Amino acid sequence: MVPKVVFGEGCFDQLSSILSSKKKEKAPFIYLVDNVFEEDTKFLDRINLRFNDKLIFVSAEEEPKTSQVDTLVKNIKSEFTYLPSGIIGIGGGTVMDLAKAVSIMLNNKGSAADYQGWDLVSKKAVYHVGIPTISGTGAEVSRTTVLTGPVRKLGINSDFTPFDQVVLDPELTKGVSKNQWFFTGMDCFIHCVESLNGTFLNAFSQSYGEKAYDLCLEIFLGDTLSEKESRAKLMMASWHGGMSIAYSQVGVAHAMSYGLGYVLGTKHGVGNCIVFQYLSEFYPKDVALFKQMVAKHGVTIPQGICQNLTEAQLNTMITVALGMVPLWENALGADWEKVITPEKLRELYLKM
């Protein structure tokens, strides 16, 4: 788990004092910042670059890739003589995952692709700090960093992946567009549904998952919260949702969303929403609630994204989804292959 957390509106300004004790001589702090902030001078002025610290803007347009991690690591290593004092990720799930992966790969040989899987990392990561600016993915708290590699989309799951420090400042999520707010929030809702309805569930995950789920209902279906309260609560929903899946597993929507992401580059949050609406047979109550939320917020979910797929693309999509064995086992038990066949997935994908 993440050992240190600060929370609260404006707590971002504690960052300098948090980092001061971690500064090593000649070793810079590297800030990986979502490029949506590139023009936001007011925000950028609050990042206190000192000595040889470096700020790198990264695009979250696409899901993070192992090749992107490798390039970042190579550039950092070639520019600086000393390993960084720390990596600070400021952004959404993509930037969180990049920051975690870069901090691991600065201390481990080879390509990030070599470490996709479970507990393959042998050396401690460089000190790394996560500062989410959008809520829902749970990437700020999770033990994974999901990356698209040359052969698969899979996380680097390890004890060294979680951030050493997280700064939860709800104020930073103010500028998020409505669609992104909704899709990313639904990532949280959907992974709670999958965790709570999964066969791997235990009381630990359940308690976190239930809280995140309840917060999502309050935020997305309730009418009593101020914007400020809603922002703070969604940040906590993301946190608890991430904790819930850290100790259990996601399910059908994530498995199929990985397929969309791998072939079409569909972003994780919207991919989950595209898939989830067609999963009534697996999660009937929650798909109904989801549709209420979509209607309430007037959000349009992309349609027909699989209509022009080639046969080869569709097969790849199905293969990637079927490869997510732990997710299917969690969703449907050991006999999942009786329910989820390539034909079944083809039929579902073609609706999307």
The footprint of its own copies (CB under 8 A) covers 1-5, 7-8, 159, 162, 168, 170, 202-204, 206-208, 210-211, 214-215, 229, 232-233, 235-237, 239-240, 247
Q: Which residue lies nearer to its own copies by CB, 6 or 339?
A: 6
How far is residue 209's CA from residue 241's CA, in Å, rounded to a whole number?
5
Residue among 169, 204, 253, 199 nearest 1 (CA): 204
Angle value at C-alpha 89, between 86 and 90, nearest 5 degrees: 135
Minimum separation from the CB atom of position 287 to its own copies (A): 25
Q: Which residue lies nearer to its own copies by CB, 37 or 213?
A: 213
Minimum separation from the CB atom of position 203 to its own copies (A): 4
Q: Which residue lies nearer to its own copies by CB, 200 or 336?
A: 200
Q: Which residue lies nearer to its own copies by CB, 51 or 204?
A: 204
Minimum separation from the CB atom of position 326 to its own copies (A): 17
Minimum separation from the CB atom of position 207 to its own copies (A): 4
User: Dihedral angle at the C-alpha atoms of 219, 224, 229, 230, nearest 10 degrees?
Assistant: 20
Minimum separation from the CB atom of position 40 to its own copies (A): 24
Q: Which residue lies nearer to its own copies by CB, 3 or 110?
A: 3
How far is residue 156's CA from residue 117's CA, in Å, rounded to a whole number?
5
Minimum separation from the CB atom of position 114 to its own copies (A): 23
How far is residue 144's CA from residue 112's CA, in Å, rounded to a whole number?
13
Q: Which residue lies nearer to its own copies by CB, 237 or 250?
A: 237
* CA–CA distances in Å: residue 155 to residues 30, 98, 333: 22, 11, 22
Residue 260 token pair? 């969309």
User: Dihedral angle at the C-alpha atoms of 236, 282, 181, 351, nearest 10 degrees?
Assistant: 170
> Helix count (H) and strand count (E) of the chain?
14, 9
Minimum separation from the CB atom of position 338 to its own copies (A): 28
Q: Which residue lies nearer to its own copies by CB, 112 or 188?
A: 188
How far is residue 159's CA from residue 170's CA, in Å, rounded to a whole number?
27
Rounded to a whole number of angstroms, the distance between the first and last alpha carbons of the chain is 36
Backbone angles phi, psi at 222, to 5 degrees: -80, 175
